[in-house]
Amino acid sequence: MTRNMLYIIESRKPDGSLDFEAPQPEHFFGPGAIAGMSADAMAKAIFRKVPDAKLHGDSIPLWPSVVDSRWRARPKTWF
């Protein structure tokens, strides 16, 4: 993970297509879910809901699934 890496959070169906059913990640993580947020900001939001979550640096894309199994993070590649 690079120091300034930002992540967006998406809701996906099992087949990989976008899932537009509520709740959406931005309802939990705020606008950072769409605009991009740091791993630290993501972890702080997750720990408020799941204080004993096991968040490891090698599995950042799976962190949002602790809150909702449909949610995944991916690096933001545009600015």
Inform me whether the pLDDT recorded for 6 exceeds 70: yes
* Assigned domain for 46 exists: yes
Calculate the CA 5 to chain-centre distance. Answer: 13
Residue 15 lies in a domain: yes
Evaluate whether residue 1 is within a structural domain: no
The residues that bridge with 11 in the sheet, in sequence order, are 71
- The pLDDT-based confidence of 78 (bands split at 50, 70, 90) is confident
d(CA 8, CA 34): 5
Question: Residue 1: pLDDT band by 50, 70, 90 thresholds?
Answer: very low
Residue 42 lies in a domain: yes
Q: Which domain holds residue 56?
A: 7-75
Give the per-residue pLDDT at 21: 95
2 in a structural domain: no
Q: Write the pLDDT tens digit of every residue in 20-50.
A: 999 999 999 999 999 999 999 999 999 999 9
The label of the residue with tokens 């791993």 reads 39
Residue with tokens 């933001």: 76
Q: Return the residue matching tokens 């990989």.
A: 16
Q: Where are the beta strands (DSSP E) in the chain?
A: 7-11, 71-75
Task: Give the number of residues written for the chain.
Answer: 79
The count of structural domains within the chain is: 1
